[in-house]
Amino acid sequence: MLEIEGKKMNIKNKKIAFEIPIGVFSVFKQTTDEFAQSLRIAAAVKWYEKGMVSQGKASEIAGLCREDFIMALGQFDISPFQYPPEEILKEAGYETELGI
């Protein structure tokens, strides 16, 4: 059972384990649990950035609600939109006005 912002979600999880050099924890000044959460967020952000997963799936991977995941994207300077600005403007009807 996964809990996100106090909401229990009936999602089956698979636990994975791998070894990290002990010095990494002092560099990031995080506990092992904090570091594991940071890794989940970093992986989810990167996979979202590359278009490998949707925003909803990425937020699930990160263990965050969608709003918090969007905030995390900002911390990594990643746009919450998976489309280039030109395409967004075109869909909004600005292509003729801006010559796009």
Which residues share a beta bridge with 8? Answer: 3
Q: Is residue 76 within 8 Å of residue 48, measured between CB atoms?
A: no
What integer pLDDT is reported at residue 93 of this predicted model?
82
Q: State what percent of residues in the chain have pLDDT above 90.
A: 44
Interatomic CA distance for residues 26 and 30, integer angstroms:
7
What integer pLDDT is reported at residue 3 of this predicted model?
55
In the structure encoding, which two tokens stand for residue 94, read together? 């600005």
What integer pLDDT is reported at residue 42 of this predicted model?
97
CA 9 to chain centre: 18
Low-confidence ranges of the chain (pLDDT < 70): 1-11, 95-100
pTM flag (> 0.75): no
Interatomic CA distance for residues 50 and 53, integer angstroms:
8
